[in-house]
Chain A
Amino acid sequence: MSEIINHAFLFDATRCIDCRACMVACSVENNIPMNKTRIWVAGIGIKGEFPKLESASMVYHCMHCAEPDCLSACPVGAYTKRSDGPVLYDPDKCIGCRYCMNACPFGVPHFDYDKGLIEGAFIDKCTMCPQRIDVGLAPACVATCPTDALEFGERADLIAKAHARIQAHPERYIDHVYGEIENGGTSYLILSHVPFTELGLPEIGSIPVKEVSETVMGYTIPFALGWSAVLSAVAAGVHLYNQKNEKRSSAEEKLEDSK
């Protein structure tokens, strides 16, 4: 293990040139099939009218949340959050239910519809390259980034670095480090010159979605018991009503027949 306590990425959209070296590096490092990817590019493309144009792109992959919703939603414990950052996924435990896909506010986990349940590999997402960080290397995407748009290190240091960068160039950046508090804090931190929503990031509070969902889910049993009584009563009522109708219609039929 490296000396870093809590690994994180810092992405600076002002530096990204959308060259996709990160995507190729990830593909090779993690032996990703030719029709799959763990990194994709989001952003505004080219906005405005010639010649007043603006552009921004973002390298998108797993945010490695401190409180991962995928982990919370997984019914079989296929997800784990390592104390030093990475959110990992175990294909041997996965049953392919895709709850994690619905749970992730960032839309990161992808289901492999080509393989599906039969071949046994279901969900794919960025792992933070544990095979590299455990020997002190940066993840493949970060290591090769020609403009240092991607950086890697201790989360607290990167947060301080990001704020220092905003302070040095307030005219350049939106005054916020995305991921510092979002969803309870993520290990992917983002600096941008355009609104974060334009980079494809959700507007999301500091309370992790899973905390809300787990609180709500805590009421499930009493709530369900209460509801079941109500629903049973309603169902019984409906049943009686239907029976009454059926009797009536059969009586009418008889009447018709006798005519």
Chain B
Amino acid sequence: MTSTLSRRDFLKMGAAGAAAVAIGTMLPPKVAQAARQAGLINAEGDGTITSMCEMCVWRCGLIARIKDGRVVKLEGNPEHPHSKGKLCPRGQSGLMNTYDPDRVLTPLIRVGKRGEGLFRKASWDEALDLVASKMQAIKDQYGPEAMVFSSTHNLSQPLFENLLYAFGSPNYGTQRSLCFNAMITAFLLTYGIEEPSRNYDNVEYILMVGRNLMEAISTSETSELSHAIDRGAKLVYLDPRYTKTASKATEWIPIRPGTDSAFLLAMINVIVSNELADCDFVRKYMVGCDDIQEEMSRYSPAWAEQITGVPAATIERIAREYAAAQHNALAHPGWRTSNFINSFQTERAIATLNALSGNVLRPGGCLSAEIEAEGAGLGAPSQPPYPRLSALRLDGTPWKYPLVPLKLGVFQELRDAIVSGEPYQAHGWFISRQNPIQSLPDRTKTLEAFAKMDFIVTVDIIMNDTAWYSDVVLPEASYLERYDPLLPVGDKAYIRQPVIEPQGEAKSALWIYKQLGERLGLGDYFQYEDEEDYIRQQLVPLGVSLEDIKAKGYADMPEKDEEQEITFNTASGKIEVYSETLKNAGFSPWPTWEEPPMPASNEFYLLTGKVAQHTQFGTQNNQLLHKYSDEPKLWMNPKAAADLGLSSGNWVEISSPVGKAHIILLVTEAIRPDCVYMTPGYGHLSKGLKTAFGVGASDSALHVTYTDPISGGQALTQTFVTVKKA
């Protein structure tokens, strides 16, 4: 689909709207007033305003160029550590999310059947009154736990959590179990650190297990990796698919899916049996020193060759090269690690390799503690304690999944409990900035869960699939139109601020949650006048004014005391390669091999992944990204295609145990013969997405739900499919 509507046309349309507002009020709009007072824009409304990107969770700093009260260009902020002056294609295209002609700009109330897409416009008062009364009715009739709340990682999440916990529901759905539960749980259990940060300054040898950093772009980290490769650092990259990262790697290993941990355990075997590790570091800081050699002895490279298909000599050589680089070696922790039930073990093996190289938490080492601690060091409005939660969490945390942190949860299990009604039936769902119909595996089942609900409300900026199936849609201001709570990074706190007025009736999440809170009698949890007042309260300990942080884009945080002694936040205070916690919960205390299931001879592994132009399920309707991304197709190796009599351009039908999808085939050497690959995020159901609707197919319609009992992570690559001509 190519649109012939030019951006210039959108600008004209929007400018007409802005002019109408200006004449009506006579006063310059609020953003313009504030920016003018701060000297950021001139009398004509032209200038630059510093803020933060939200096209993914990396949150680059941006500088918005404003002309006549409209944002015309976004640049990376050189002073922000996540962007360093750059923006990726998604960041560059951000203004088209804001000026998307499909934006929802007034509250909507459903009038047709669910999924029919018939809504009527409503005032904020009517919509909020309706949402609050429905939520209250569910609470009164079934208890607060019958309301489910879900939202995907964002800066206003603390206030979302306020709404949820003040309301009294334990049922909190995040996207995390579909993404990084395996990585975070493994690193918490091994190091007591959620997500260690990576340092590429001195790195010489990098091992990446499916971390496609050249396409799943995190601007500063992608840049650092590229510069490291340029300097001559070696990159060994494991992936069944030849991604852009594979094309930049020194060595690409197209390993059999699900067997990464066998490869890594054999590396550990080579390192410990030949005593190649950083012995001083290991003895001092690691639990399991005495037994690791014995424990890993069964994982020889010859054993791993049988499982992974990678020659034993290659594994041995890579292990020796990795060990030789000592603390300038980095085994990357990865990010979306929801591949197989055994992905947790893969992550434990990665954590172990980093411990053996001694690169952890030392000056110049490649791995350190997390850089972001949300809200730490900042002020906050006062609020009463939350009411006591008396119901079990529907997602099984912790009563079924004892080691899954509460803030991660098990989203797919929550959906299943809604369908089964066990241990109790949920009746309402409050969704903010999240698209579970696209993100959860087994879309048919998710729609079943939706059908079980008495009431669904979604907060979003466009009519995504979840909004399309909701009863009320509340229009949020886009990230270029609103404030969010501050983001501390290192020794600074950064601001996201409106660079233009919200369009239509769109409002910030801070405003929406407060309005709902007050209508539900929970106003004490939202003690701020407005968004600016919230940020002023955050700034109190820093002694910085709102005007200063708006002009500068950040405020300095008080210096932290440099810790001299290395400490790990685990039970033993050391790196727990051997974990008593795991043992006590009935799991293997050592990183261990768990055989993953394999497809039958006529089946393929269904791989998922990323492209540089899109973020998950939320950007496919952005016209600029649509313009510059490839048409989504099913990748298949020529050998497999020849066996099936298929060729590039054929329409094919993919079938899994839970669904079917139709898509165009791309025959390519860039994938193993036993795998097929689909770019996620396509195949939208909502006809309210005029750019994205009808493009590609949804892998969520095919994914089978499998949950890792340790980390709660969904195993996305454990779905096997057959392919035939459509």
Give A contacts to B, CB under 8 Å.
14-15, 17-21, 23-25, 27-29, 31-35, 37, 46, 48-51, 53-55, 114, 140, 143-148, 169
Contact = CB atoms under 8 A, between A and B. Distances in A.
Contact of A24 (B2, B6, B85, B624): B624
Most buried by B among A15, A34, A114: A34
10 contacts: A15-B230, A19-B217, A24-B92, A29-B73, A34-B6, A34-B7, A50-B671, A51-B252, A53-B246, A146-B217
A45 to B, nearest CB: 9
Contact of B86 (A17, A54, A114, A144): A144
Of all A-B residue pairs in the complex, the 10 with the closest CB atoms, nearest first, are A147-B226, A19-B612, A33-B6, A55-B247, A24-B92, A17-B214, A21-B89, A50-B669, A20-B628, A25-B92
B3 A35 contact: yes
A122 B73 CA distance: 25
B73 A18 contact: no
B625 A50 contact: no
B613 interface: yes
A147 B5 contact: no
Contact of B92 (A28, A55, A114): A28
B544 interface: no
Contact of B89 (A20, A48, A147): A20
A41 B226 CA distance: 19
Given A15-B230, A145-B86, A146-B219, A27 B627 contact: yes
Contacts of A51: 242, 252, 254
A28 B625 contact: no
Contact of A17 (B248, B252, B627): B248
B143 interface: no
Given A34-B624, A46-B247, A50-B670, 9 more contacts: A18-B244, A21-B89, A24-B625, A24-B628, A27-B627, A34-B623, A53-B669, A114-B4, A144-B92
Nearest to A55: B247
B76 to A, nearest CB: 6
Contacts of A28: 7, 72-74, 92-93, 95, 624
B722 interface: no
A228 B406 CA distance: 91
Most buried by A among B2, B7, B254, B623: B7
B226 A23 contact: no
A137 to B, nearest CB: 9
Interface string B211-232: 0001101010011001100101
Interface in B75-131: 75-76, 85-89, 91-93, 95
B241 to A, nearest CB: 10
A187 B125 CA distance: 59
Contacts of A17: 214-215, 222, 226, 244, 248, 612
Nearest to B669: A50
Nearest to A15: B226
Interface string B1-18: 011111110010000000
Contact of B8 (A18, A33, A46, A49): A33
Nearest to B213: A17
A29 B95 CA distance: 12
Contact of B227 (A49, A144, A148): A148
A162 to B, nearest CB: 13
Contacts of A14: 230
A49 B673 CA distance: 12
Contacts of B85: 143
Nearest to B671: A50
A18 to B, nearest CB: 6
A20 B612 CA distance: 8
Nearest to B76: A144
Nearest to B78: A143
B228 to A, nearest CB: 11
B550 interface: no
B628 A23 contact: yes
A230 B214 CA distance: 65
B672 to A, nearest CB: 7
Given A17-B215, A144-B76, A49 B669 contact: yes
A69 B185 CA distance: 61
Contact of B668 (A19, A37, A46): A46
A132 to B, nearest CB: 10
A143 B227 CA distance: 16
Interface string B646-683: 00000000000000000000001111110000000000
Given A19-B215, A19-B217, A50 B628 contact: no
A256 to B, nearest CB: 62
Contacts of B5: 34
Nearest to B74: A28
Most buried by B among A32, A33, A55, A146: A146
Contacts of A29: 73
Contacts of B197: none
Given A21-B92, A31-B7, A50-B254, A146 B222 contact: yes
Contacts of B629: 20
Contacts of A32: 7
A15 B254 CA distance: 22
A169 B247 CA distance: 18
A19 B624 contact: no
B570 interface: no
Nearest to A145: B86
